[in-house]
Every structure is written in structure tokens, then in C-alpha cells.
Amino acid sequence: MEIKISNISKLEWNGDALAIGFFTDKVQLSEALTELDHKLDNTISELIVETEFKGKLGCTTIARIGGNNSLGKIILVGLGKEEDLTVDSFRQAGGYIARVAKQAKIKTLAIAINHPDYDNDIVAQMISEGVILALHQDNRFKSDTEDQKISLETIDLLDLPASNKAIETAQKITSGVILARELVNAPANVINPVTMTETVENLAHEYGLELTILEQEDCEKLGMGSFLGVAKASDLPPKFIHLIYKPENTPKRKLAIVGKGLTFDSGGLNIKVSGSGIETMKMDMGGAAATFGAAKAIAQLKPDVEIHFISAVTENMISGKAMHPGDILTASNGKTIEVNNTDAEGRLTLADALVYADKLGVDAIVDLATLTGACIVALGNDIAGLWTTDDDLATQLKTSAQTAGEKFWQMPMENKYFDQMKSSIADMKNTGSRAGGSITAALFLQQFVKDTPWAHLDIAGPVWAEKSTAIDNEGGTGFAVRTLVNWALND
């Protein structure tokens, strides 16, 4: 499929379908659309009336054009209220249009959407992102994909004097989102610590990135007892992955992104029971997936920023070697942890990863993890939690997320809640009470960052979609990749 900028106007374009956007408060034809409507035998005006099209956000309608017209169909898409328009509105519109075109088996499509308040390159990038993500299909594990093939061959962006670089940027960013989606979607017998490492090795080779893999013995020498405690029960070796992107020029800043990399979480000896969603725990490496998805996009976009992508990758399994409830682990900064719940394992792996990142001398660290069900209870499935005590870093991430169309809500770092995690025989326990569980998880992680501005993102809800949306299909969403990329690109 090819997306390109076209200098042909919507009045002259010929092909299978033309898509046009309308706001809820402006579902009337402009002078140019009136001329097009007359050319199309009043198809547009009649379609608006017959379907009672109001321009509601995400609402679409399609009709065949009769007569001898060389344009096959017209697609109307609602953009919502004009005062609510954001850059993400264009991304969503591209997704809705692509889904209609796919269902109608359209081969050649044109999209005529722009707005005077928004840069044409931004609009072209957002529409392209929406189209690419909506059309992505993960058919790797299906035996017959013949009926899943996409008919779309070309998409022309009309009345939008943008550069081809905008489309190329969209393609690079979405390639990272798609990598993250497919890592999350892959079952634990396909993506495990060994194969995850192989995936990152391929990334490093393809894009010329530096890569260090710490094996179990290396982690033992560094005193990573917290990470290795989780890894003990698995038959597969743990892998500590450190991937580095360095720009050609002197970096303007240095960043670290740390992703939780549990390729499967059984809960350990505090095993997840039936009905707990254990069958979906292949997605517990969604933080690592977003980390390495962002790495793929950033390696192609080449910002003047040095970025360290880190994940302590393992499984949380059950065996005679398993970590017991009540065990005491010693992290690589010397802090001791009484394990009162083996199913709170992600924070144990992140603890050593954060200590490692904190020693790199970076300007900021962001960790992201499918860490707590409590965050889903608090914020639902669409919004991720953000914890930090650094206001500047919080602003950077919120701004990056807004452009990405990804929702975050800053949560409190209520230090008093850490009292729940005090242990009589160790420095801390790994969990507190159920109340405020996502906050105590963030407070736990804070104990392993000493000198560096740090933020924690709990992405447990948005990393997985139960049903398709404008741009996300059911399953892995690749959530947070776009936010992380924007954070890296913004000076």
C-alpha cells in the first residue's frame, strides 16, 4: 500500500472512493464541495440527508455514485465539534476511513481533510498513522489468511500541500507501534526471554545500535538478586537487555527508557486463579514491547538524543526452584525486600533495572509497565497512570502524550502510603494493602532511583484492547510507543 501527497484537487481526482470530513456544527457544503456535489449528481447532499449524517466523531457513511462519473464512491467521516479538534482527530479520522475502505474492498482511495489551524505536514502524518495502524493485521498464527488480504493499493492525500517526509515519519513511527503490538500479541511459546533477545539483536543489527546482553552470571556479579529471584523458577535463562541509540552529532540530552519484560506471568507460587486473566499474561511484557518499539522508530528518525532502552526479561513461573512467599531478596543497590506476594514480580525486576539505569548518568529515566490491576480499577482501560516528583518531566510526558493521542493521568506520590510496605525483617515488603495499590507500587520503585529525574508509567489498561477502535485492533495496541517517540524528539 502506498500513501502519497497528490496535487490533484478533489474535483478532478478519479478512483474508487473519495473521503471527506465534516464537523458536527458544519455539516453543509462549501463552495468547492457544492461544485463537487453537482458533478456527482448531488450524491453528497443526498447522502447527508438520507443517512441523517451529523458529523459526529467517528461516524462514517458511504455511497456509490451513479451515472457516468469516474469516481466510484463517496465516504463521509465525522470529525466531531470543531472546537474539540486536536492533532489526534486527524489520526482517528484516517483510521475510521481506512476501516470503511477495507470493508468496501476499495483499491484506490483519496482523503480530502485539512484545517487552516494545523500544519499540513502534521495533518498528513496523523492521517497516515491512522490509516496504517487501522489496516495492520496480525495474521502470523492463522493458517488461512486469504480472506484477510487488504485491497487498498494507493491512498492519495488531496488539498494538502505537505511534504513526503511527513508520510515517511508516520511510517517510521507506526513501524515501532506495530512491533510492540506483535510482541504483545505473540504467545509465551513464541516470545520468551531468548526470542525477545533475538528480536532486539535483529533491531541492533538492522539499525546499527549498540547492544549489551547481561546473562544470568553477569546479573549475579552485579548483585541483581531482586530480578534473579523472579527468574529462578523458569527453565529459560533470564536476559538483561541494554540497547543504545547514539546520534551522529553530540547528543542534546541522554535518556533511559526501562520496560517491564515479563514474557509470561503465572503469578508464581501466589498463582493466578482461573478467571484472573492468566491466559492473557503473555502481555505482561507490554512495557518492554513499547520500549523496543520506540527504539525501532527512534533509530529511523535519528534525533540528536542518546537513548538507553533497558529491560530485565524473564518469566514468572512455578517449580521447585521458585521464589517463595516470605523470601528475602537483595537488590543491586543493597536494599532488602521481603516478598509477601510472588505475583507482584514486575516491580522486583524493574528494581534492578532502575538501579542499573540510574548509574548511566542520563538526564531522565522513564519506566513503563503493566504493573497493577489497581491502576485499571482507578483509571479504566483507556488511561495510563503517571507518577513522578519532577514537574518538568511530568510536563514533557503529558505534552508528548497529547500529540500521540495517548491518555495519561498524573497520580499522587503519597509518601505516607509507603508505611504499608514496611517490613520487620527487611527494608521493605514488595506490596502494601489493596487500597492505593498502584501508588504503593510506584513508591516501591522510587526506592531504586537515587540521583536521576524519574517517572513511572503504569500502562496495564491501555496496552490491550478487548475490541477494535479507530486505529487499534483487538489485542496489543502498542500503547506508549508514540508518547516515548515524541518525548525523544522534543527538545
The CATH number of whichever domain residue 75 belongs to comes to 3.40.220.10
Q: What is the DSSP letter of 324?
A: P
46 and 180 both lie in a single domain: no
Domain boundary among the residues 159, 187, 211 is at: 159
pLDDT band at 26, cuts 50/70/90? confident
Per-residue confidence (pLDDT) for residue 146, from 0 to 100 = 65
Taking only the tens place, the pLDDT of each residue in 410-446 is: 999 999 999 999 999 999 999 999 999 999 999 999 9
9 and 153 both lie in a single domain: yes
Q: Measuring CA to CA, which residue among 279, 449, 415, 213 is closest to residue 347?
A: 449
Per-residue confidence (pLDDT) for residue 66, from 0 to 100 = 80
For residue 389, the tally of other CB atoms under 10 A from its CB is: 12
166 occurs within a structural domain: no
For residue 304, is pLDDT > 90?
yes
244 and 266 both lie in a single domain: yes
308 occurs within a structural domain: yes
Q: How far apart are CA 403 and CA 487, in angstroms?
A: 10
Buried/exposed code over 255-281 (b: 16+ C-beta within 10 A; e: otherwise):
bbbbbbbbbbbbbbbbebeeeeeeeeb
287 and 353 both lie in a single domain: yes
Cell of 389: 516528583
pLDDT band at 275, cuts 50/70/90? confident
For residue 159, the tally of other CB atoms under 10 A from its CB is: 19
69 and 140 both lie in a single domain: yes
Residue 96: partners with Cβ closer than 8 Å, 6 or more residues away:
58, 60, 77, 130, 134, 470
- Quote the percentage of the chain above a pLDDT of 90: 94
pLDDT band at 451, cuts 50/70/90? confident
370 occurs within a structural domain: yes
What are the beta bridge partners of residue 60?
A: 77
Phi then psi dihedrals of residue 431, to 5 deg: -145, 155
Q: How far apart are CA 37 and CA 74, in angstroms?
A: 10
191 and 332 both lie in a single domain: yes
Give the chain's mean pLDDT. Answer: 96
Q: Measuring CA to CA, which residue among 367, 203, 365 is closest to residue 296?
A: 203
For residue 407, is pLDDT > 80?
yes
- Quote the percentage of the chain above a pLDDT of 70: 99
Taking only the tens place, the pLDDT of each residue in 156-214 is: 999 999 999 999 999 999 999 999 999 999 999 999 999 999 999 999 999 999 999 99
Q: Measuring CA to CA, which residue among 370, 249, 358 is closest to residue 310?
A: 358
Residue with cell 496495564: 460
SS3 of 78-131: the string is ECCCHHHCCHHHHHHHHHHHHHHHHHCCCCEEEEECCCCCCCHHHHHHHHHHHH
Residue with cell 484545517: 115
Which residues does the annotation mark as catalytic? 272, 347
Packed helices 120-135 and 87-103: angle between N→C axes, nearest 10 degrees: 40
For residue 335, is pLDDT > 90?
yes
64 and 16 both lie in a single domain: yes
Per-residue confidence (pLDDT) for residue 92, from 0 to 100 = 97
Residues 365-385 have a mean pLDDT of 97
Domain boundary among the residues 159, 188, 206 is at: 159
Per-residue confidence (pLDDT) for residue 25, from 0 to 100 = 82
196 occurs within a structural domain: yes
Domain boundary among the residues 159, 193, 222 is at: 159
Which residues form the domain of 83?
Answer: 2-159
Per-residue confidence (pLDDT) for residue 78, from 0 to 100 = 97
371 and 424 both lie in a single domain: yes
For residue 276, is pLDDT > 80?
no
Q: How far apart are CA 296 and CA 328, in angstroms?
A: 37
Residues 73-77 have a mean pLDDT of 98
Q: What is the DSSP letter of 266?
A: -
Number of domains making up the chain: 2
Residue 29: partners with Cβ closer than 8 Å, 6 or more residues away:
37, 44, 45
